[in-house]
Amino acid sequence: MRFPIFKTKIKGVTQKFHLTEPKDRKAYFELKAGPEIKKLKEFLKRNTFIAYLLGKKNSGKGTYSKMFAEVINPEKIEHFSIGDMIREVDKELKDSKKRAELISFLEKQYRGFLPLKETISVFKKRNTETLLPTELILALAKREIAKGEKKALFIDGFPRNLDQISFALFFRDLIGYREDPDIFILIDVPEAVIDERIKWRRVCPLCQTSRNLKLLPTSKVGYDEKKKEFYLICDNPDCLGLTRRTTTEGTRMISKEGDELGIKPIRARLEMDEKLMEKAFSLQGIPKVLLRNSVPVKEAEKFVDDYEITPEYSYQWNAKTKKVKVIEKPWKIIDDESRPSYSLLPPPVVVSLIKQIVEVLHL
Ligand SMILES: [Zn+2]
């Protein structure tokens, strides 16, 4: 799928921002989308919308919608993940009182070809490979949507096993459930970006904070002289509190088993996600917001500012001073159409999200 490149560069403006600093980020959004932010804040005082996030695994769905909420109004916007919902339902089924409430809700709401009892037993016995019956997810999603009334919702994660017809019905049914505007948000990220995000991912074993050795380091980087490798040290302030007693350095972040393989193990999943996006793209009657993560190197100067491009980090070890030197440069990838490209940091993508939402809502 080819999405248009969104222009975030403003002619004549040379001011630079450090987009990882919350204060700078605020000023950046004010400059690039001030009037639109104001309109959305005003709109959300009395109105809501439902946005369906569609993008491949690791495409940044959560990052973008959470940053959007941070900029506009966190109290009025909720990010709702179907995956998290299913994990919550798992817990409910183990608690006899909550379980009875859930079943009584489903008896009223569930429409499907499998009897409810059987559906629930599929739910309990499933593993990560089995896909849940669409009708069950639909009924549960409705319950969540009803809870979140008076808030704009970003819904993340949809059944991937839908055929054309049930796909359209699925959305029509959900949309009819609440009478506010609905929007599809489609995210286009080159597979090379997803691959590197997984390969270099590092997680703190104590607080589970996730960073990236190549793309999103912490403020402290260490070097293991025995293994000859660099590592990140968790700098989450809450986490430092946990470790102070045992070590002075903070916790070394680690890679999860299998991450070094990148997208290889999830290739089938990515293909399914792509098909789902194509289906959503061709579904008529719902306005669409198209988010694009990459910009071809050749066109970058025309469309974006330098500081909006994701840098890549590499490291050098100085054996004499025992210090790590951090080297930063723009990160180049090859996009899905074989063009050398840059990947954008989340803020410029969120600027394009804000402006396109204002447009589809006719504000
Ligand atoms: Zn930590």
Q: How far apart are CA 287 and CA 189, in angstroms?
A: 20
pLDDT digits (tens, 9 = 90+) for 193-246: 999 999 999 999 998 889 999 999 998 999 999 999 999 999 888 886 665 555
CB-based contacts of 325, cutoff 8 Å, min separation 6? 315, 316, 317, 318
Pair 334, 15: CB distance under 8 Å: no
68 Cα–ligand 1 center, Å: 25
Mean pLDDT of 138-154: 79
Instruction: Indicate whether 276 pLDDT > 70.
Output: yes
Q: How far is the CA of 242 from the centre of ligand 1 (A)?
A: 8
Instruction: Classify each residue of 23-53 as buried b or exposed e, where b means 16 or more C-beta atoms within 10 Å of its C-beta.
Output: eebeebbeebbeebbebbeebbeeebbbbbb
Confidence of residue 347 (pLDDT cuts 50, 70, 90): very high
Q: Name 77's bridge partners.
A: 152
Instruction: Tell how far the Cα of 208 is from the centroid of ligand 1, in angstroms.
Output: 6
Residue range 277-295, pLDDT digits in tens? 888 888 888 899 999 999 9
CA of 250 to the centre of ligand 1 (A): 8
pLDDT over 80 at 165, yes or no:
no
Distance 243 CA to ligand 1 centre (A): 9
Average pLDDT, the chain: 87
What is the helix (H) or strand (E) element at residue 51, kind and residue range?
strand 50-55
Cβ atoms 223, 317 nearer than 8 A: yes
Task: Spell out which residues have Cβ within 5 A of ligand 1, the ion.
Answer: 204, 206-207, 209, 234, 236, 239
Centre of ligand 1 to C-alpha 232, Å, is 10
Tell me the H-state helices in the chain: 22-46, 61-72, 82-94, 96-109, 116-125, 134-147, 164-177, 191-199, 237-243, 267-282, 297-303, 346-360
Q: What is the pTM of this model?
A: 0.86
Give the SS3 label for residue 248.
coil
